[in-house]
Structure 1
Amino acid sequence: MSDTPQPLSETPATSAPPPFAERFSDGLQSILQKMLGTQRQSPRRIKSFLNGTWLGHPLHPVLTDVPIAAWALTAVFDIIWLISHATWAASGAFVTLIVGLLAALAAAVTGLTDWSDTYGTERRIGLNHALFNVLALLLYLLSFVLRLLAGPGDTIAATILGLLGLVSVFYAGYLGGEMVFSKGTGVNHTAWEAGGEDYEVVMAAADVQEQTLYRVTVAGVPVVLLRQGERYSAISATCPHAGGPLDEGTLVGNTVECPWHGSRFCMSDGRVLTGPAVVNAPRYDVRVTNGQVALKRLEEH
């Protein structure tokens, strides 16, 4: 039986166009993917750099702390200025505001890079997250202009704009947390995979053909197995980035590419070579005994 949903009646129905937010997201993601070279051949260095593959950790959350902290300090200096009209407080607010603006631009670029690979509910939340961050950026930019025109002193209008910007960026941060902690965006999908204490037989060695990816199960965990000559290698079959099935990916030499978002992993050691994934795939030791292939997960150090 087909899994495709069937119409409830024979009367042809005209499907409603997708909401504006969905159309906007589709168009924006398409533009971002072209700019980032998402569809290009590996190694896609720019995208991998912005994802944080080289860091072993998503780059976006590392950068977001800077504008939030800087703009929070701006608010502190502004409050001090409102109370005392101290020139040093106005100067401090001006400097931290600039730091926040510069860091926010870097955070925006990396955030949009990560968002370009999302879909469904996480994509909608991510779009709102981005919009409130853009609103905060515009408010602080206008606040910056007003402070610049005011010279060494501060202005009430600039302070109010800054406080509104802080509220906006805090709410954007809340939405960012919603993506990570409720939807699992950017979470390592292999983090909770358990490894057995003993080797587990998965298949007969005679059935393992060369240069073919096999999906096997070890201690209840899906693993992808590869034979190249007399050498065997195995890593988790789940892509750490979004859970894509690596056993259905493309094998080039000793590298497997995830069919969902193009992350590439070395089959020998699980090392991530190309983003959007940022962590290595768990690897397994392979033994061939009495014509049987047995696997055991290797502990990470």
Structure 2
Amino acid sequence: MSTSENEAVSTPRQPALERFSDGLQHAIQAVIGARSKPPRLFRSLLNGTLLGHPLHPAITDIPVGAWVLAAIFDIIWLIAPAFSAWAAQGAFVTVIVGLIGAVLAAVTGLADWSDTYGGERRVGLYHAGLNVLAVVLYLVSFLLRLPEGARENVAAAILGFLGLIAVLAAAYFGGDLVFVKGTNINHTAWEAGNEEYEAVMPLDEVAENKLYRVMVGGVPVVLLRQGLQLYAISATCSHAGGPLDEGTLTGDVVECPWHGSRFCMRDGRVLTGPATVAAPRYDVRVRNEQIEIKRRES
């Protein structure tokens, strides 16, 4: 048996779920322009960069809230159908609102999920699958209500209850992504830095337009010199913790090597998603030919 045949036999085949996730992520990244040239406005819009806050969790409140109301209206109608035609109408409207919100939540959620990997990617897929199930159930529920002019339908109500169970189960996995896996949290939130200036390196060792990684109060900071100006921001990408000092520098903008988030070195502003939170900024001064840095007060 040849070496190549041995390698083919010994190389484990990627699980079907992983192959599916790879293909889906590549497709999503192509659609949202994740690998296109900056500024990648469509991707930044979906991520919430323009708002300074992740967009997906804000939108998910719409379908969850609407469908909880739909369940309440359905229960009212089932208890007293003769006196609650208004409840049937309310359920019909809130099911529609939930479906519209679910579409928006799915688009933004898939954009966020396209940057995940490993365990968080699998949990995100379970989260998405349950939400798809919920949408299908509510869509059928909506269609069953139509022939009667938005009046109540017992089968439609039952499907709505099942849909609510599915979306609440999906919300559980969504919470696991954030609170257990740390997906889309601000990875610089707990950086304390140093309130006093700390010498990091001699000025004459710092070349222009080159990124340097230094430590300030135990926190990694990326340093840049341009002419007489010195800039410093956190070296940790707020999106997923990527090392900005290993990123690409264009003018005074650094691009994270992991997912392409772009930050302005002058003030830490995030210019391109998937990051939504600005990088902490550090004050820089030169004293006795030594560069000194401290964390800027918020």
TM-score (norm 1): 0.95
Q: Which amino acid in the other structure matches residue 245 of structure 2?
A: D
Deviations 1:34-69 (A, max 9, x none): 001111010000000000001110000000011000
Alignment of 1:3-152 (within 5 A): 13-85=9-81, 86-152=84-150
Q: Which amino acid in the other structure matches residue 222 of structure 2?
A: V
Q: Which amino acid in the other structure matches residue 223 of structure 2?
A: L
Deviation at residue 195 of structure 1 after TM alignment: 2.0
Q: Which amino acid in the other structure matches residue 49 of structure 1?
A: L
Q: Distance in 1 between matches of 2:164 and 2:66?
A: 10
TM-score (norm 2): 0.96
Superposition misfits of 4+ residues, deviation over 3 angstroms: 10-13
Specify which of 192, 212, 215 is matched with residue 217 of structure 1.
215
1:81–1:235 Cα change, 3 Å: same
**2:193 aligns to what?**
195
1:90–1:255 Cα change, 3 Å: same
Q: Distance in 1 between matches of 2:239 and 2:166?
A: 29
Q: Which amino acid in the other structure matches residue 39 of structure 2?
A: P
Q: Distance in 1 between matches of 2:149 and 2:34?
A: 45
Q: Any idea what SS the aligned residue of 2:284 has?
A: strand
**1:169 aligns to what?**
167
Deviation at residue 12 of structure 1 after TM alignment: 7.8
Q: Any idea what SS the aligned residue of 1:54 has?
A: helix
Deviation at residue 299 of structure 1 after TM alignment: 1.4
1:15–1:162 Cα change, 3 Å: same
Asked whether the equivalents of residues 87 and 152 of structure 1 are also in contact (C-alpha less than 8 Å), the reply is no
Q: Distance in 2 between matches of 1:165 and 1:140?
A: 6
Specify which of 227, 232, 251 is matched with residue 225 of structure 2.
227
Q: Distance in 2 between matches of 1:150 and 1:46?
A: 40
**2:3 aligns to what?**
none
1:11–1:125 Cα change, 3 Å: closer
Once the two structures are aligned, what percentage of the paired residues are identical? 64
Q: Any idea what SS the aligned residue of 1:261 has?
A: coil
Deviation at residue 18 of structure 1 after TM alignment: 1.3
Q: Distance in 2 between matches of 1:49 and 1:203?
A: 39
1:146–1:269 Cα change, 3 Å: same
Asked whether the equivalents of residues 92 and 150 of structure 2 are also in contact (C-alpha less than 8 Å), the reply is no
Asked whether the equivalents of residues 243 and 256 of structure 2 are also in contact (C-alpha less than 8 Å), the reply is yes
Q: Which amino acid in the other structure matches residue 249 of structure 1?
A: G
Deviation at residue 17 of structure 1 after TM alignment: 1.4
Instruction: Show structure 1 runs of 5+ residues with no match.
Output: 1-9
Q: Which amino acid in the other structure matches residue 78 of structure 1?
A: D
**1:246 aligns to what?**
244
Deviation at residue 150 of structure 1 after TM alignment: 2.4
Aligned length: 291
Deviations 1:115-166 (A, max 9, x none): 0000010000000000000000000000000001222421111000000000
Asked whether the equivalents of residues 235 and 244 of structure 2 are also in contact (C-alpha less than 8 Å), the reply is yes
Asked whether the equivalents of residues 269 and 279 of structure 2 are also in contact (C-alpha less than 8 Å), the reply is yes
Q: Which amino acid in the other structure matches residue 21 of structure 1?
A: L
**2:276 aligns to what?**
278
**1:5 aligns to what?**
none
Q: Distance in 2 between matches of 1:43 and 1:205?
A: 33
Q: Would you tell me which structure has more helix in proportion to its own residues? A: 2
Asked whether the equivalents of residues 210 and 228 of structure 1 are also in contact (C-alpha less than 8 Å), the reply is yes
